Copies of this chain bind each other. A is one copy, B any other.
Amino acid sequence: MKEPAVLFRETLVSLLEEKKYPTLRDVLVTLNPADIAALFEELPADRLPLLFRLLPKELAAETFVEMEPDEQELLIRGFSDNELKEVIDELYLDDAVDIVEEMPANVVKRILRSADPDTRKMINEILKYPEDSAGSIMTIEYVRLRRQFTVEQAIKHIRRTGIDKETIYTCYVTDDNRRLLGFVSVKTLLLSDEEASIEDVMETNVIYVYTTEDRETVANLFHKYNFIALPVVDEEQRLVGIVTVDDALDVMQEEYTEDIEKMAAITPSGKPYLKTSVFALWKARIPWLLLLMISATFTGMIITAFEQALAAQVTLAAFIPMLMDTGGNCGSQSSATVIRGLSLDEIEFSDLLRVQWKEIRVAVLCGVTLAAASFAKLLLFDKVTLAVALVVCVTLAVTVLCAKVVGCTLPILSMKVGFDPAVMSSPFITTIVDAISLMLYFSVATAVLGL
C-alpha cells in the first residue's frame, strides 16, 4: 500500500515554493486529515500557518486534531482570536478536551476564552474527570431518542441533528431524566418497519460504564463486545456521554506503549521516540537506572560476604553470569505473562494461588530440564569436578523455582496495593532474583564444597 502522503509530498513542496496556492489547496482537499497533518509536520514550521489557512474550515479543524501538540501550539499562537474561535467551534468536544490537556496554561486560557460559553462549560466539565477515566475520553455529542418515537421519526431526528454528532450509528434512548433505557443501531432502524416504535425495536440490555471507570477497562469492553460506541453514565445512571471505538483504539495503543516502557524501566512520555529530545529521554530513563544500580549493590554485598569462599575456588565465578541470566530470564517470562494477563482482565487477584501453583509446576519442569542440560555440559565440556557440577545444577534448579514464583507473584501483589503491575517486570524481577540466586549459590557451595 502506498500512502497518499508519500505520493504527494514532492509535488506539494514544489507547489509551495512556486506559491501556486490555489492548486495547492485543490490538491490538499483530496487528502485525509491524518495525511495532511503528517505532511505538514515534514514541512518547515514557518510555512505551517500559511498552509493551514489554505484549508476549508471543516478540513482545517479535522487536520488540526491530527497534529502533534507542538504544531498545534505553534498554530494557536499564530491564530487571530477569530481564527481560533472558528477552529474550536468545528471540533468535537472530546478532541477539544484532548488538545486543552496538552497545552500550556496561557494557551488554554486563550482557547477557553475563544470557545462559546456552552462549549467552555462542557470542556470544563470533562476536564474535571480524573485522567485515564471513561469521563475524560468521552464525548457528549451523541444521538438521543425518545422511546415514543416511531422509526420514521427517529430517522428524521437523526437527519436533522446528526451532522454535529461524532457517531450516529448507535443512538441512545433515555427517559425525561436522561436515565438510560436502551439503545438502537441505525442498522436496526433501517431494517425495521417505519411505523414501529423505538420502544419495540430498541435493545434494553445495555452495557455501560461509569464516568470513573478506568479507560483501559473501557477499551477491553470494546474488544469483548465488538461495540462501535459505549454509553457513559453518572452515579445516578444518567447518560452523560459516549466513548467511540476510535477512542478505544487510541487508548489501547497508548496504554500498550506505556506498558512496554514501564516494563523496560522507562517513565512513559506519551511522545513518539523520534520527536523526543535527548534530554527528555535521559530524564525518563536515568531514575530507574540509578535505582536499579543501587539495588544491585546488595548482590555485590553477597559476593563480598563470600569473598573467601570465592578466593578458595575461583572457578565458581565463571558460572555467576549463567545463573544470574537464567534466573532473570525465568522471572521475566513469568512476570511478562502475568502482567499481560492482568491488563487483559484474564487474571485477577483471586487467581493468585492458581497462578502460583501453575508457575511452580512449570518451574519444576524448566528447572529439571535446564539443570540436566547444564550438568551434562559441565561434566563433558567444562570438565569441572562432580561436586562443582552438583553445586551449580542444584542452585540452578532452585533459582528457576524462586524466579518463577517471584516473577508471577509481584505483579499481582503490586496491582492489589494499587501500583501498576507493569513496573514489576524484567528489570526489578532480575535484580531481586540475582540476589536470591547468588545467596543460594554460595550457601550451597560452602555446604557441599566445605569452603
Contact = CB atoms under 8 A, between A and B. Distances in A.
A31 B204 CA distance: 10
A50 interface: no
A321 interface: yes
B336 A260 contact: yes
Contacts of A286: 365-366, 369-370
B290 A339 contact: no
Contacts of A190: 155, 158-159, 162, 168, 186
A434 B163 CA distance: 60
Interface string A248-262: 111011001101110
B289 A370 contact: yes
A338 B222 CA distance: 28
Instruction: Name, among A1, A245, A330, the residue most crowded by chain B CB atoms within 10 Å (CB to CB).
Output: A1
A448 interface: no
Interface in A287-335: 288-290, 292-294, 296-297, 299-301, 303-304, 307, 310-311, 314-315, 317-322, 324-326, 328-330, 332-333, 335
A191 interface: yes
Contacts of A168: 186-187, 190
B373 A340 contact: no
Contact of A279 (B264, B365, B438): B365
Interface residues of A, number: 118
A294 B319 CA distance: 11
B249 A341 contact: no
B319 A281 contact: no
Contacts of A336: 260-261, 263-264, 266
Interface string A261-279: 1011110000011100011
Given A30-B205, A290-B373, A333 B228 contact: no
B311 A314 contact: yes
Please report whether the interface of chain A is mostly helix, strand, loop or mixed according to DSSP. Answer: helix
Interface string A184-215: 00110011000000000000110111100100
Interface string A220-254: 00111110100000000000000001101110110
Contacts of A355: 273-274
B314 A310 contact: yes
Interface stretch (A97-105, A111-119, A425-433): A425-433
A285 interface: yes
B225 A228 contact: no
Copies per assembly: 2
A403 to B, nearest CB: 10
A53 interface: no
A320 B320 contact: yes
Interface string A338-351: 11110010110001
A362 interface: yes
Contacts of A310: 314, 317
Contacts of A377: 294, 297
A304 to B, nearest CB: 5
A47 interface: no
A43 to B, nearest CB: 18
A300 B319 contact: yes
A14 interface: no
A347 B248 contact: no
A285 B370 CA distance: 11
Top 3 nearest A-B pairs by Cβ distance? A264-B336, A299-B321, A226-B246
